[in-house]
Structure 1
Amino acid sequence: MVKIGDESGGKGSGTDDKIIPLSSPFFLHPSDSPSLKLTQTMFNGENYDLWADAVRNGLDAKNKLGFVEGTVKKPEGTEADNPEVVAWRQCNAMIKSWLRSVIDEKLHPSITFSGTVLEIWKELKERYSAGNAPRVHQLKSELTECRQGTRSVVDYYTHLKSIWDELANYSRVPDCTCGAGAAFAKEKEEEKVHQFIMGLNTALYDHLRSNLLMEDNLTSLSRAYALVLREERHKAVTRIREDQSKRPWQLVRWRPWKRNNDKTEEKKSLSHLIALTAKSGTIQPKIVGIGLGSLAEDAAGVEEEAVEAAVVVEARQRFDPYRKSLQPR
């Protein structure tokens, strides 16, 4: 029998009992289940590198990364004389279920009869990993052709950063703590700034791009992103204001005027006139004068006082049939 939860690693009361420490890769938490998903990224046969990185991260969090890297091997002996063999078998079955839950169902037949998690992992890598050189070439081609187009700044930057991060995973430059390492990191940062501003929409950000390039010391990537994002928001506010000014209404003037010896009708609010006009026959065109465009200005005998109000296009269109009849003869 295998017991869990005692960090000390001591033995239980029975001769066959063995405590699995919490830090052991053989430890399975009570909340671990075969239906658990290590990542939201599903492997579909074309996104191996992205999927494998996400799965490795999930397994590392569960202290099970050694099962796919080959560092955690099957213990020697049999289940009868070595309880760790039982623990290994249970962990192996659990991880196989975790992998199956994040692999597209159409690929399940190819991994169903694989014996261990390590065998499955190696088989998937050999079959679907494109290799470093072809993938690096593909990423650099995408980086060269990457343009904002009609995307938002956030979407454009996120796409760029995903390419940069994946390229960094393939980088073979050794870590360095000397001054040369800092200079190299600064140069890589400036290269990213150039790539970022180079792909911006020229029609929208050409002026800002020129300002950034005119600086003596090229700004950092984070500041360049913040400035472009601020400019995008400013343009969005400006566009909203312009759209509001082009809404389907305009300011017009209406005035009562005399015609055919009829008495001048008492001035009503324009909104009231619109409401009345919606009801068929409630207003006679010969009594009410509505100023549309220069119509009121051309009316004969019109008083100079006028009322300005907003008129929706639908209301204006209701008056269109009366425009000719409203014009003084």
Structure 2
Amino acid sequence: MAPVTNVSEDSMSPYYIHHSDSLGLVLVSQPLTGDNFTSCHCDMIIAISVKNKLGFVDGSIPRPDDFMLLNSWKRNNGIVTSWILNSVSKDISTSIIFTESALDIRQDLKERFQQSNGPRIFQLRRNHRQGLMTGVKKLESHHQMDYVLAFLMGLNESFSQVFAMIIQEERHRQLGSQYLPTESAHGMALTVKGEVTKPSSGSM
């Protein structure tokens, strides 16, 4: 196979333009509005990297002096620029549409929106920490409830045993003529008999 002399024809070269690299490509699901710069910028960089065009926005592929290579650079720069314009709001797009290179557009957006997103990033991180603390407290409360339920279940078993003993005692009383009274029933009978036979103070 003959070696490729034109970088724009080498499929491994960032100058190579695939048939799927259309001007209408949108890099992100939600357009950049300013408030979402951090997440949107990250998504753009990933998408451009997958397309092997990151060098046109990070400065690693500068504008060449060679005439033949310059034409290829201009085509790729125009394609990447159109992707960025498709991925920002209309107001932002209007303000950057006349910028010469994709690199300049990226730097412009970073200067305008990256610093303004600092307080928002801080707020998101603080909300994240608060969410973690709330989750930990709920987990602790859940474990405490487990202990309480286990304790109540143990009490329930004890009450069940006492209730069963009372039922058994009641049955012995009802069948007293056929069965001997239990020790507990006999003690209660002696107590009642002693109170009945005890003379009152008025009869002396």
Q: TM-score, normalised by structure 1?
A: 0.40
Kindly indicate whether structure 1 or structure 2 has the higher relative contact order, using CA contacts under 8 Å at least 6 residues apart.
2
Are the counterparts in 2 of residues 39 and 54 from structure 1 also a CA contact under 8 Å?
yes
- Counterpart residue number, 1:113: 98
Check if 1:42 corresponds to 2:27.
no
Tell me the alpha carbon deviations over residues 94-144 of structure 1, each in whole angstroms, 9 at most, x when there is no partner: 111101111111222210111111111000000000278645532332224
The code of the aligned residue for 1:197 comes to G
**1:61 counterpart (37, 50, 62):** 50
CA distance in 1 between partners of 2:38 and 2:126 (Å): 17
Mapping of residues 125-204 of structure 1, within 5 Å: 125-130=110-115, 134=119, 136-146=121-131, 195=133, 197-198=135-136, 200=138
Task: Give the count of matched residue pairs.
Answer: 146
The code of the aligned residue for 1:9 comes to V
Could you tell me which runs of 5 or more consecutive residues in structure 2 were left unpaired when the two chains were aligned. 147-204
CA distance in 2 between partners of 1:28 and 1:101 (Å): 18
Are the counterparts in 2 of residues 35 and 97 from structure 1 also a CA contact under 8 Å?
yes
Tell me the alpha carbon deviations over residues 177-196 of structure 1, each in whole angstroms, 9 at most, x when there is no partner: xxxxxxxxxxxxxxxxx647
Label 1:126 to 1:87 Cα distance change in 2 as closer, same or farther (>3 A): same
CA distance in 2 between partners of 1:209 and 1:40 (Å): 44
How many Å apart are 1:206 and its aligned residue? 3.0
Are the counterparts in 1 of residues 8 and 17 from structure 2 also a CA contact under 8 Å?
no
Structure with greater proportional helix content: 2
CA distance in 2 between partners of 1:121 and 1:57 (Å): 14
CA distance in 2 between partners of 1:141 and 1:7 (Å): 59
CA distance in 2 between partners of 1:99 and 1:31 (Å): 16
Are the counterparts in 1 of residues 8 and 16 from structure 2 also a CA contact under 8 Å?
no
Are the counterparts in 1 of residues 8 and 15 from structure 2 also a CA contact under 8 Å?
no
* SS of corresponding position for 2:38: helix
Are the counterparts in 2 of residues 36 and 101 from structure 1 also a CA contact under 8 Å?
yes
- Counterpart residue number, 1:95: 80
- Counterpart residue number, 2:167: none
Check if 1:71 corresponds to 2:60.
yes
CA distance in 2 between partners of 1:56 and 1:71 (Å): 14
The code of the aligned residue for 2:141 comes to D
- Counterpart residue number, 2:12: 23
Mapping of residues 201-212 of structure 1, within 5 Å: 206-208=141-143
CA distance in 2 between partners of 1:24 and 1:141 (Å): 43
Are the counterparts in 1 of residues 34 and 113 from structure 2 also a CA contact under 8 Å?
yes
CA distance in 1 between partners of 2:117 and 2:35 (Å): 15
The code of the aligned residue for 1:30 comes to H
- Counterpart residue number, 2:159: none
- Counterpart residue number, 1:8: 3
Could you tell me which runs of 5 or more consecutive residues in structure 1 were left unpaired when the two chains were aligned. 1-5, 12-17, 147-193, 212-329
Tell me the alpha carbon deviations over residues 206-225 of structure 1, each in whole angstroms, 9 at most, x when there is no partner: 325877xxxxxxxxxxxxxx
CA distance in 2 between partners of 1:39 and 1:115 (Å): 22
CA distance in 2 between partners of 1:44 and 1:75 (Å): 32
Sequence identity percentage = 26
Are the counterparts in 2 of residues 48 and 128 from structure 1 also a CA contact under 8 Å?
yes
